[in-house]
Amino acid sequence: MSRNFVSTAAVALAVAALLVACDKAKTSSPAMASADAPAPATAPPDALPQAQEPAATAQIEEAAATSLQEVRVPHVVKEGEKSLDSLKPMQGKYRWDGVDYVQDGVLAERLKTLMGHQYETLLRNLQTLGPLEPSAGLLYVMGNRQHQGGEEMAAVVIDPVRNGLRVWLLSEGRQTVYTDVDGADIPWPSAVQSMLRNIVATQ
């Protein structure tokens, strides 16, 4: 399988920090340019190492630039269209419990519009998954392709209040984040954050 990560502990930790701690950071951001600066005293244990050699810093920046893509496609509400708030009754249910909400209904239509041809990849990467879970006003589901946990995975986070989606897709060694709302990013629930840290740390 093709991989776009530099397999060193420093690089893995840096990309994990990019996904989870920095969340919205782009590769051109000042935070990435100063990756060799000491981390603040309140930084979590999985933050960037407090000191990096110049060569290691260059590797980190290169890995961050090649391993993560962000796609933002703001959703335009159509007349008569259901809101994602309508998914609340599905809370606690698997996609196989009655209505397959990942493949049918309002969520499926929104995912198709947001992800385009990668929607089929998303479906395959949610073959084995948990139920639709609540987290601080959000709903989320995450899973992986059968027998390919850690390699082909995905998470879908729904913000019913903002009627928005944020999707993380790991496929063929590349991570892509899809968002269909403007403004601040929809936060990752803690379970998704833990998954991202664990996945990146093993690359």
Q: pLDDT tens digit string along 136-167?
A: 999 999 999 987 777 899 999 999 999 999 99
Out of 59-68, 159-168, 190-199, the most confident range is 159-168
Q: Are the C-beta atoms of residues 102 and 109 closer than 8 Å to each other? A: no
C-beta of residue 176 within 8 angstroms of C-beta of residue 118: yes
The better pLDDT of the pair 13, 110 is held by: 110
Find out whether 71 and 176 touch, Cβ atoms under 8 Å: yes
Sign of CA dihedral 52, 55, 59, 61: positive
Write the DSSP string, 108-143: HHHHHHHHGGGHHHHHHTTSEE---EEETTEEEEEE
pLDDT at residue number 44: 47
Q: Does 26 score more than 50 pLDDT?
A: no
Nearest Cα to Cα of residue 175 among 5, 31, 26: 5
Distance, in Å, from the CA atom of 87 to the CA atom of 160, rounded to the nearest integer, reads: 8
Task: Using DSSP, state whether 7 is helix, strand or coil.
Answer: coil
DSSP E strand stretches across 28-131: 68-72, 128-129
Model confidence at 23, in pLDDT bands (50, 70, 90)? low
Residue 44, beta-bridge partner list: none
Q: How many CB atoms lie within 10 A of CB 86?
A: 14
Report whether pLDDT(17) > 60: no
What torsion do the CA atoms of 27, 29, 34, 40 make, to the nearest 10 degrees? Answer: -110
Q: What is residue 25's three-state secondary structure?
A: coil
Put simply, whether the predicted model's pTM sits higher than 0.85 gets the answer no
How far is it, in rounded angstroms, from Cα 82 to Cα 85? Answer: 8
Q: Where are the alpha helices (DSSP H) in the chain?
A: 9-17, 30-33, 54-67, 106-115, 119-124, 190-201
pLDDT average, residue stretch 45-51: 44
